[in-house]
Amino acid sequence: MGTNRRQVALLASLVVGVLLPVLVTAGYLYTRAVDQYASTVAFSVRTESMPSPIELIGGIADIPTSGSADADILFAFIRSQEMVETLDARLGLVEMFSRPEGDPVFGFDPTGSIEDLTDYWRRMVEVIYDPGTGLIEVRALAFAPEDARVIATGVMEESARLIDDLSRVARDDTTAFAREELERAVERLKLARERLTRFRSVTQIVDPSADLQGQMGVLGSLEGQLAATLIDADLLRESTRSGDPRLRQAERRIAVIEARIAAERRKLGQGAGGTGGGDYASLLSEFERLAVDREFAEQSYRAALAAHDQAQAEARRKSRYLAAHIRPTLAQSSEHPRRIVLTAMVGFFALCLWALAALVYYSIRDRR
Inform me whether the pLDDT recorded for 271 exceeds 80: no
Mean pLDDT of 309-329: 81
Mean pLDDT of 364-368: 69
Helix (H, G, I), strand (E, B) or coil at 321: strand
Mean pLDDT of 147-163: 92
pLDDT of residue 308: 84
pLDDT of residue 151: 93
Confidence of residue 190 (pLDDT cuts 50, 70, 90): very high
Inform me whether the pLDDT recorded for 238 exceeds 70: yes
Comparing CA positions, the residue from 49, 61, 46, 57 lying closest to residue 315 is 49
- Mean pLDDT, the chain, as a whole number? 80
Inform me whether the pLDDT recorded for 274 exceeds 50: no
Rounded to an integer, what distance in angstroms lies between the CA atom of residue 212 and that of residue 114? 83
Comparing CA positions, the residue from 307, 301, 306, 281 lying closest to residue 192 is 301
Confidence of residue 201 (pLDDT cuts 50, 70, 90): confident
Query: Could you tell me the residue ranges of all domains in the chain?
Result: 34-175+319-340, 180-311
When mean pLDDT is compared across 71-85, 140-154, 243-257, the lowest value belongs to 243-257
Mean pLDDT of 157-184: 85
Domain 34-175+319-340 -> CATH class: alpha beta
pLDDT of residue 191: 92
**Per-residue pLDDT reduced to its tens digit, 122-152:** 999 999 998 888 899 999 999 889 999 999 9
Inform me whether the pLDDT recorded for 38 exceeds 70: yes
Inform me whether the pLDDT recorded for 154 exceeds 70: yes
pLDDT of residue 284: 74
Q: What is the pTM of this model?
A: 0.60
Rounded to an integer, what distance in angstroms lies between the CA atom of residue 133 and that of residue 67? 9
When mean pLDDT is compared across 66-70, 217-221, 225-229, the lowest value belongs to 66-70
The distance of Cα 242 from the centroid of its chain, to the nearest Å, equals 94
- Phi, then psi, of 114 in degrees rounded to 5: -65, -30
The dihedral over CA atoms of 357, 359, 362, 366, expressed in degrees to the nearest 10, equals -140
pLDDT of residue 276: 41
Confidence of residue 62 (pLDDT cuts 50, 70, 90): very low
Inform me whether the pLDDT recorded for 50 exceeds 60: no
